[in-house]
Every structure is written in structure tokens, then in C-alpha cells.
Amino acid sequence: MNNTPAPIKYFEVLRALHKGGLSLWLNRKTLLPMTLIPTIATFLTLMMSRMDGLQDASAFQLALIQIPADFIIGIFCSLIIFIILNAPKKKDKDAPVHFQLNILGRKDLLIGGAIAYVVFGYLIAGAYGVMGMIFEPIQQAASEQEPANVGMIIPIILMMLGVFYVMRFALLPILIIAEIDVVSFFKTFKSFGLSAPVFLIKVITTLAVGLVLYVPLQGLLGGTDDEATSVPATMAIVDFGFAFGAVIAAAWGSAALAIGYRQMMEGAEGT
């Protein structure tokens, strides 16, 4: 394991987003065909969740169904992370990364990164699920126009702070692929400061891709949701669009985080 460098200021979010997105765009001819498998896997998962037998499935059952698709997305994101972390240093740190696909010798790192990607996803999903369970009585009281229990607000606030703090663990795939001592890294960067840029990158990439897709997909759906679901072909196109968007958002977020990590490490080394 490599030693973790001394702590430095946290990476610049806008710079990481810009350089990560530009790196993906300049290498789109290589990467776009590679999005097909994770997109199809995510699309099939969405379609499967609409089957009659799974309409009343629990969140846990749906999460199990989603694991293969998440793992494939994790492999794709790990590939991007590996290439960015191993790209040669540049004098111009704002220059985009040009990918070189010479990583087959380190399949173990890709698999490890993919597993970490899945674990983080379910860690956050579980936290949101618990928060939803806590919030449900407040929603019910509001719908029945009854006074809400103020004491229930405190657990929700604490849970929100907890979710914000654990956003730092989105860096787990990057640390595994960089072969960094994970425990030492998080001991070095243990304040809330690291969670802020990671949180912003995850939110911005998800919202940006989602907003770009929302208008055309909603236009395709047309009328009400009931009318849309009555046309399987239309719903399939919409699901495929959302699946593709999920893959792009994950790829952009992973690229930006990998570049942010490099900013931190190269700054700590004085480069």
C-alpha cells in the first residue's frame, strides 16, 4: 500500500467537473460504445422492476435485482478512474486526460473498484431508506393536518448530517484503484471538509444529466403516467433514456472525483 500524503486543501469542484467532463467528451469515440453494456443492464433492470410479479416487491428485493447492473456500471467507472489516475502528469493541470486502454493486467483493481462502487451505492440507499422511515410519520401527520412530533425532526437532521458525512466514501473506488491505505486516508481527511466537494460533484453530475434528459423524455411521455405506461414501446424508450443517463452521470462523477483526487495528491506532493 502507498502512504497517504500530508493533508492539503480540498480539490476545486468546478475545475474537477470541467476537466472530468472534457476528458470524457474528447474520448467519446472510445467510451461511447463502452456505455452500451451498462446501459442495457440498467435498462433491463428497470424493465424487470415493472413486471407484474415485482410491482409490490420490497425495497430490499429491488435492490438485490439492481446489483448486477450497478456492478457493471462500477466496472465501467473503475476503468475511467484507472486511466485518469495513471495518466502522466501534465504541466498544464487543466488539460483534459486522453485515455489509453492498457489496463487488462490489473483486472483485480477494476473488480475491487466495482465492488466498492456497489457498496457505497447501497450504503447511501440504506441511509435514505432509514431517513424515509423516520420522515413518514411527519408526512402522515401533515396530510391529516395534525401537529407533527417536533422530536422526530432531530433524528432526521442527524440522519441528513450522517448522509452528508458518508459521501466521502464515494472515493472508495478511487482509493482502491490507487492502491492507497483506505483507513489512513480517511483518518487524514476526517473532517466534514472532504464531504463537501464529493457531495457537490455527485449532486451536480446527477442533476445536470437528469435535467438534460428530463425535458425530451417528458415530451416523449406526453400525457399522464397512466397513458404512458399503457404504451410499452414508449415506456421502453423512456427507460432506456434514463438508463443511459444514469451511466453518463456515474461516468462523469467518477471522472471528476478521480481528477479531484489527483489535484489533492499532486498538491500534497508539491507538484
- Backbone CA torsion sign across 263, 248, 47, 55: positive
Residue 253 C-alpha from the chain's centroid: 6
In the block, residue with C-alpha cell 502528469:
89
Q: What is the pTM of this model?
A: 0.81
Contact 235, 224 (CB under 8 A): no
Q: Please report, in tens digits, the pLDDT of each residue of the chain (271 residues total).
A: 455 544 456 788 999 999 999 989 988 888 899 999 999 999 998 888 777 656 665 666 677 788 999 999 999 999 999 888 887 766 555 556 655 555 666 788 889 999 999 998 888 777 766 666 666 666 666 666 666 566 667 777 887 888 888 889 999 999 999 998 999 888 888 888 888 999 999 999 999 998 888 777 766 666 445 544 556 677 788 888 889 999 999 999 999 999 999 888 876 454 3
Alpha carbons 173 and 100: distance in angstroms, whole number = 19
Please give the pLDDT value at position 224: 45
Alpha carbons 99 and 18: distance in angstroms, whole number = 16
